[in-house]
Amino acid sequence: MDIVVNEELKAYIDPLTAEEHEALERSILAEGCRDALVLWGDVLVDGHNRYGICSKHGLPFQTVQNPRFRSMEDVHLWMIDQHLGRRSISDFQRGVLALRKREIVAERRARGAAAQTTEPAAQAAEPVPAPEALQTREALAKAARLSSNQVVMIEKIQKQATPEVVAAVKAGAISINAAAAVATLPAEEQAAAAAAGAQELKQAAKRVRETKRKPPAADPAPDAAEASAPDDTVQALRQRVATLEAENAALRQELAALRPQPSSPHPVEEAQAPF
């Protein structure tokens, strides 16, 4: 059988590093290809690195068909689950794969719900079990064996980070935490930091965190005129009170002058004694 290498499937999972590929090649040269290559018809699904090494050195290998594949989505989901079960991939890769799985499952369920409203679902000869829905952040984190916070940061990196920053976190040059912080910067600043190297990316992430920790700027101090306004107001009120009191006193005097003076009583005439 002629094995067909689908380039899209080959690139679906991040390739091995040069060191990892060399280690695999040494193992196959020493012990042979122990694991069978997985096929879907004549399409190679799993074992691209082993197939390449065996073909290069003319080494024999075994193949096995997976009869449960019905579509390319089935193939993708199977590949994701296989790699999530391996320890060799990074935390960032785990998060990316889990997010891909959530997207595929959500699209499949949406199509299934739409189909049920139009016509009864056709019975497949060997129906593929519905994959677990990853609707909550906790379920997604569990599938990827990560924390919920890590999943949030990886999702932010995928949505906001430039290709240069993504490449840096994939290569392990910066942490997921640092990449998520840098991803909040404008694209041109991200690209400039990545071009300057891993150290500058780390410094950029540090600056972002420090900016978020700073307290909000205090209101500017009032100028001299505003600062003296309360004192001026008090002084003006005091002057007004004094003026009103003076006017009140003058009015009282005027009223007193206008009142009629009471007549003085006639003195009692002394009785004159008779002579």
Q: Mean pLDDT throughout 27-51?
A: 96
- Residue 136 has what pLDDT? 81
- Residue 259 has what pLDDT? 67
pLDDT digit string, tens, across residues 108-151: 888 888 877 766 544 444 444 455 556 688 888 888 889 999 99
- Residue 232 has what pLDDT? 65
Residue 275 has pLDDT above 50, yes or no: no
Global pTM value: 0.67
Residue 260 banded pLDDT, cuts 50, 70, 90? low
> Please, what's the b/e burial string for 9-37 (b: 16 or more CB within 10 A of its CB; e: otherwise)?
beebbeeeeeeeeeebbeebeeeebeeeb
Residue 229 has pLDDT above 80, yes or no: no
| Listed residue (67, 78, 77, 148) closest to 109, CA to CA | 77
| Other Cβ atoms within 10 Å of 65 Cβ, number | 13
For the four alpha carbons of 73, 75, 76 and 82, in that order, the dihedral sign comes to: positive
pLDDT digit string, tens, across residues 150-207: 999 999 999 999 999 999 999 999 999 999 999 999 999 999 999 999 999 999 999 9
Average pLDDT over the chain reads: 83
Q: Which residue has the higher pLDDT, 214 or 154?
A: 154
Residue 223 banded pLDDT, cuts 50, 70, 90? low
Residue 267 banded pLDDT, cuts 50, 70, 90? very low
- Residue 235 has what pLDDT? 76
Q: Mean pLDDT throughout 59-79?
A: 95
Q: Mean pLDDT throughout 252-258?
A: 72
- Residue 108 has what pLDDT? 87
pLDDT digit string, tens, across residues 95-105: 999 999 999 99
pLDDT digit string, tens, across residues 77-90: 999 999 998 777 89
CA angle 236, 241, 247 (to 5 degrees): 125
- Residue 218 has what pLDDT? 59
Q: Mean pLDDT throughout 9-34?
A: 93
